[in-house]
Amino acid sequence: MSNTPWMLIVVGSSTLVILIVSIVIAIALSSSHLNSASTDTNPHLNSIGTSPAVDIEELPTEWDFLSEVFSKYVNVFGVHIFATTDTPNSKVAHASHVLAQYLDNNADGMPDNPAVLNAMTQVNASIIMVAEENDMESIFRKAPERLHQMLDDGQLRAAVLYGEETNPHNRFDGSLEEVLHLISSVGYAQVYPDVFGEHTDSTIARHMDNARGGHFEEHRESDCYDDEPNKTWGSGQCALPPNGEYPEDAWYTYDDPTCNYSCMVTEYFYWGLTSLMGAQSDNQRCANISWEWTPCTAKLVNSMDPELYDLLTDPQYSLPRILPDGNYALPMP
């Protein structure tokens, strides 16, 4: 069996080790090819747009080779959701609705940015759902070689979402983060590489460097393999500043020593956009995330990181403005 690991989040053009079984992925897409894609080539534009209902189905024939590990399937505008038998239907349905709301934020039955959707469907963008985090290792081992090969060859890009973190009682809804990671990394970063690319010198990366108080990037991928401080800690392990100590005036201070530079951009995009939509504004939530992200409201993003605010509210990119609540519904005719 291939050693290709599963991914918890999808990141950019370099590999990343994160959590379960040393998750490593690579995204390397041709942005020129993606930008030239016609929206008419996507046969799934109305997969969910013709009805607000989300139907959990059996695996389609073309994905039947995954039946040993997944039994539930949803198609959202051509983006796949694969779930295990143990993943509750309510969790799968909620994640499907969140995905639909992110892609069709104005709920008119059509994706808000067809180019982004095309970029995602060209590489079989998928959400992999398991009931609990502990299930991932066994799923990885049981996965057919064909799936590992698709991951190796860039024929499938995926994000992992746990049922236990999806719309939990009295806790933050993890689907708001993991679903958005898939859209930003496999969609926006590929269609607009100079703007949202998860690499040095893209527009959003420059804003991130400012938010972190400097440019901190790994020298080699192996710098990011340890989830505890290693010999490079003093000089800046992975994409962290020396000794993991950010400048006092930084407002984005993620300190995961396995999160490479591309990963840092992914998280920055998430924090900025969800703060604009009000996901982080509750007083308790704002306090809980302050170790990593300070501008937890739209007003604070505008005052502390005005360049990011302007970028994420620029109408030309058709980014979502309304926070998904897991209830995708089209207006009555």
Q: Is residue 238 within 8 Å of 259, Cβ to Cβ? A: yes
pLDDT along the chain (333 residues), means of 10: 41 33 32 36 45 77 97 96 97 97 95 97 98 93 95 95 97 98 98 98 98 96 92 93 97 97 98 98 97 98 98 98 95 71
Residue tagged 């236990």 (tokens): 164
pLDDT at res. 85 = 97
What is the domain partition of the chain in residue ranges?
A: 31-317
DSSP per-residue string spanning 109-156 = SS-S-HHHHHHHHHTT-EEEEESSGGGHHHHHHHS-HHHHHHHHHTS-
Q: Is residue 146 within 8 Å of 209, Cβ to Cβ? A: no
- Chain segment 52-81, per-residue pLDDT in tens: 457 899 999 999 999 999 999 999 999 999
pLDDT at res. 309 = 98
Task: For residue 25, give the amino acid letter.
Answer: I
pLDDT at res. 254 = 98
pLDDT at res. 291 = 97
pTM over 0.75: yes
- Chain segment 160-203, per-residue pLDDT in tens: 999 999 999 999 999 999 999 999 999 999 999 999 999 999 99
pLDDT at res. 330 = 84
pLDDT at res. 53 = 52
